[in-house]
Homo-oligomer: A and B are copies of this chain.
Amino acid sequence: MQYLIYENRELYVEKEDAEVPWLKIFTKEPYKELTELPEALRKKLWRVYEIIEKEMLSYYKPTKINMASFANMLPRVHIHVMARFKEDSYFPNPMWGEKLRKSSLDLPNEEAFHKKVFEALNREFRN
């Protein structure tokens, strides 16, 4: 199930339904490409990315963070942030690549992670 983790006036963060921790960052105003975002909004988008990456690293201690922006089917730019683990089904392939094994992941509680992300973003953007 996809659901909302955080939103402010300009940006929101959704959880993607996947075997690995995977969040997606959207601007409320839709844009096709990253360079079409006004500069101030693009900076805020990267700030959201950085906060999520740091929280993922600290909470999950993943093998690697993966990040991507495709939106080929529906051309509305958004950023995928994924925590990857050597035990996940696709590693070292991207999550869009060939599945290599049955996942043996045993991850800590996701709700506590989402709460940390919400709180960190709220601290950053509440003013």
Query: Of B32, B35, B54, B63, which is within 8 A of A72 by CB?
Result: B63
Closest B residue to A32 by beta carbon equals B64
Q: Contacts of A49 on B, CB cut-off 8 Å?
A: 34
B-contacting 9-mer, from A4-12, A91-99, A108-116, A119-127: A91-99
Taken together as a complex, chains A and B put the C-alpha atoms of A16 and B79 apart, in Å, by 22
Measured as residues with beta carbon below 8 angstroms from the partner, the interface class of chain A is 20 to 34
Q: Contacts of A63 on B, CB cut-off 8 Å?
A: 72, 75
Is A73 close to B, CB under 8 A?
yes
Is A57 close to B, CB under 8 A?
yes
Is A17 close to B, CB under 8 A?
no
Docked-complex contact A69 and B68, CB < 8 angstroms: yes
Taken together as a complex, chains A and B put the C-alpha atoms of A69 and B66 apart, in Å, by 6
Docked-complex contact A72 and B96, CB < 8 angstroms: no
Q: Which residues of A contact B (CB under 8 A)?
A: 32-35, 46, 49-50, 53-54, 57, 63-73, 75, 84, 91-94, 96-97
